[in-house]
Amino acid sequence: MNITDKSAIRDCTSCQMCAAVCPKDAITIRLNEDGFYRPYLNASKCVDCGLCVKVCYKFDHNVKMTSPEEENKIAVKSAQYKRNELLEKVTSGGVADALAKELITQGYTCIGVAYNDDNHRAEHIVARTEGETDAFRGSKYIQSYSFEAFKNLVKNIRTEKFAVFGLPCHIYAIHKFLSLRNLRDNCILIDLFCHGCPSMLVWNKYEQAIKRNVGNKKFDEVQFRSKVKGWGTFYVVVVVEGVRAFISSPKHDEFYSLFFSDHVLNDACSSCKLRSTMEYTDIRLGDFWGKRYLNDRKGVSAVAITSERGMQAFNAIKGLFRTENSCMSEVLAKQSYGKVYKPNMELRKMMLDGLRDSNKTLKDVVDLYYSRQGLAMKAKRLLKRVNWYLPFDLTRLLKRFV
């Protein structure tokens, strides 16, 4: 039995762990025609050992879900870096950045996500020094190429202890592998509150348009959600030759319009169970959305701690942060945890076709999506556009009553 078996009960999450664990290197990873990472099997190399299936979400009939009673027992904190110069460099409150650096000092090898401009993609990379974890800073709102970093973990897990940062689907697969090898206690796994990942076709068109605007120069840095206008805004910023060469318009940004349409997310994202369970992670991080910090412009992290390992790691950095106690119900109110998306499959196909078409722009695809919206969604979109013209303080005040 292998990853191509027809007994799969779900779609591929693109975690790529199947290829990483394959002892015969029979599985390669590449983007499919819809722009999602998929495993491709060389049947002549495969020995049907079944290891790929054992770590795969597609085949798991017994995904562990966290009950409401157990959710209530999870330790939840809000956290914000005390040092403003560090807070400016991260997407929310800075917990992931501090954890990576602390875990390096504790002897862990860290795996996290960096943006590689040469390959035009986000990639999981291996860091063994504090400085190398700087590349992890900032959320990346696209799929990550993770195979090579995860292969490094598989090869070295008996001689190194790892701290892995990823989405719930990454962390699930790594947890499954480590549990098979009785090595789960050697690692700390940190995932994120997840909405889903869009097709790389979206990013490819978006990035190509920016490249044309900046003379095809190398990107020094891509900030997928910059704080250039404060925390909680969705500005994409690209730094070229040390200066901000591109700042998106959040009033009508094609990348985020498509991201939040939920129509071009990975197939598995619509009904993903893994974003809605806490059973496989030690710590889950995200933005602390909601009314408590509506007036904050610097960024606050939500920290949900599910294990003693996770608590020890957080306590080691706690002194660097302003923290408050919270609960899962407060955090989950503004997250995608427990949600199921129901895209119009005909429209999804048309949008993906448009993304593949070199003669169509992202705006064409966004316009197609908007043309199929009902009156309620059009009214909501109009209100959001009006919102961008209101002063920050007035906008936050209004949100307290919505």
Q: What is the pLDDT of residues 327-366, one digit of tens each?
A: 999 999 999 999 999 999 999 999 999 999 999 999 999 9
CB atoms within 10 A of CB 374: 8
DSSP 328-372: HHHHHTTS-TT------HHHHHHHHHHHH-TT--HHHHHHHHHHT
Confidence of residue 262 (pLDDT cuts 50, 70, 90): very high
Alpha carbons within 13 angstroms on the beta-carbon side of residue 31 total 19
Structure tokens at 140: 């990346």
Q: Tokens standing for 357?
A: 């078409």
Question: What are the E-state strand segments in 17-65?
Answer: 27-31, 37-41
Nearest to 61 by CA among 17, 8, 2: 8
Q: Is the pLDDT of residue 397 over 90?
A: no
Stated pTM of the model: 0.94
Q: Model confidence over 222-245: pLDDT tens digits? A: 999 999 999 988 999 999 999 999
pLDDT tens for each residue of 270-312: 999 999 999 999 999 999 999 999 999 999 999 999 999 999 9
| Both tokens assigned to 385 | 């556009």
